[in-house]
Amino acid sequence: MRWGSGAGSGDVEDRRGIGGGGMKIGCGGLLVLGVLSLLFRQDLITPFIGGGGLSTAPGGDDPARKAVEEPLERTSRNSFGDLQDYWAQNVSGYRKSTLVLFWDMVRSGCGAAESQTGPFYCPADEKVYIDLGFYKDLKNRFGAPGDFAQAYVIAHEVGHHVQKLTGTEAKVRAAQQRAPQLANQLSVRMELQADCYAGVWGHSANQRGILEPGEVEEGLTAAAAIGDDRIQKMSGRAARVESFTHGSSAQRVAWFKRGFTTGKPEACDTFDTR
């Protein structure tokens, strides 16, 4: 991907090396907690060192690991910044999101999450979370390498932010509560719309000369790689449509293509079943 000299985003929280998602405690902190435990006759230490609230590690910073991730971080920052600029021009009253980089485990407004969760958007704090190590799995396990494959992941999560701002997310959650039997179907429609929104942004990036030859195919490969049917088959299970929450590979590719071809957010109405 071709980025200009001014590319990048300042809307990034780098929590890598901070255990438990944001707070660290050393020996001094443990001593204070010990004294407070005696004063209040209550164990104030275990909930933190055993419950994932704080980390007793000295920070866990790993410069070598960060150096390896530098190209991934650059692509993520650049993509995220461009996505924010694009949607600010296309969504009335757009509020900026924040990209949170973490390692292994993080605490978000939606609760604690581990790297295995994969990238996610939390509507409660309006932030996108990603352990950049996910891109290694995307390349090696799912066969989807490349800058635009990585950008597609960020674009999909920012698509969920757009859904939060436009009221789609709230409507879907309310509908899921009213009709729990339709929860998975509604989840699939929301995820496919986020794929379509990623394609819409991809159309804009391509028009502005950011994408290089072959990178569109990287996005399509990434969309296909993380379809529910493929993931279920990779785990040794038969594909079960009723259990899908994100859509099949074919569906994800189709809606990404629709967004990329039209370049119009209004073309992404995955909820219209007519």
pLDDT of residue 18: 81
**What angle, 0 to 180 degrees and rounded to 10, lies between the N-to-C axes of helices 183-207 and 168-178?**
160
Number of other residues whose CB lies within 10 A of the CB of residue 166: 15
Task: Report, as an integer, the average pLDDT of 233-254.
Answer: 87
Residues 6, 83 contacting (CB under 8 angstroms) = no
pLDDT band at 203 (very low <50, low <70, confident <90, very high): very high
Give the residue extent of every domain in the chain: 12-17+62-267, 25-58
Task: Report, as an integer, the average pLDDT of 248-274.
Answer: 94
pTM of the model: 0.84
Query: For all residues of the chain together, what is the average pLDDT?
Result: 86
Instruction: Give me 154's structure tokens.
Output: 């960020």
- 146/247 Cα distance (integer angstroms): 22
| For residue 255, pLDDT beyond 50 | yes
pLDDT of residue 242: 82
pLDDT of residue 229: 86
- 118/149 Cα distance (integer angstroms): 15
| 174-183 pLDDT, tens digit each | 999 999 999 9
Cα→Cα distances 242→10, 180, 185, 237, 254, Å: 41, 13, 8, 14, 19
